[in-house]
Amino acid sequence: MTARPLFVVCEDGTEYVDRFQRLLGLRFRFVRAGSFAEATAALARDAVGLLLDLDFRRSPAGVLVDESGGADATRVDSERRHVSAVQGVLILRALRRQGVKLPVLLFADFDDADQTAYLEAELAPLRVVRSSVGLHDISSALDQIAAGSKP
């Protein structure tokens, strides 16, 4: 029997990982990471892809990375709000700088289609997944990633 493909789910809560384990756990394995450091460690396993939330407002300031990939627990509140609102993108940029090339699904509702296209090109292989996308389409994207094709 072949092992189910492993996906790292990076989020500040457990909503995504709980939902995916409950609904897709017979086909895929999921492990949660709550920060850049945890994602780095989890991806060192046999992960085939990363599922990444955009907003990490519930995370402690000390685990949030900035544009340079560094964490700083002493950030002023306005900077903390900014980096937490786009933490998923900042985590992915830091992972790409470390040479992580795994396919990524980023769960985000960007209003600007050009911004989405720019991020998908800059951080490829990346697919931005809007909240309106259903579980069937997400499952299909996971199948594509597990099969070794672009999400």
Query: Quick one: DSSP state of residue 3?
Result: P
CATH number at residue 47: 3.40.50.2300
Give the model's pLDDT for residue 151. 65
In a domain, 127, yes or no: yes
What's the confidence (pLDDT) of residue 84?
Answer: 96
Q: Is residue 44 part of a domain?
A: yes
Q: Between 15-24 and 135-146, two packed helices, what is the crossing angle to 10 degrees?
A: 80
Q: What is the mean pLDDT of residues 11-25?
A: 97
Domain count, the chain: 1
Query: Is 115 part of any domain?
Result: yes
Phi then psi for 105, rounded to 5 degrees? -105, 120
Mean pLDDT estimate for the chain: 94
Burial (Cβ within 10 Å: 0-12, 13-18, ≥19) of residue 146: middle
Structural domain contains residue 1: no
> Pick the residue with more confidence: 56 or 74?
56
What's the pLDDT at 116?
A: 96
Domain of residue 139, residue span: 6-146
Sheet with 6-10, side-by-side order of all strands: 29-33, 6-10, 47-53, 104-107, 126-129
In whole angstroms, what is the distance from residue 44 CA to residue 61 CA? 24
Q: What is the β-pairing status of strands 6-10 and 29-33?
A: parallel
Is residue 151 assigned to a domain?
A: no
Residue 38 pLDDT exceeds 90: yes
CA 80-86-88 angle, to 5 degrees, is 115
Two structure tokens written together for 117: 């296209």
For 100-131, the pLDDT digits (tens) are 999 999 999 999 999 999 999 999 999 999 99
Q: Does pLDDT of 81 surpass 90? A: yes
Query: pTM to 2 decimals?
Result: 0.93
Other CB atoms within 10 A of residue 136 CB: 8
Q: What is the DSSP letter of 71?
A: B
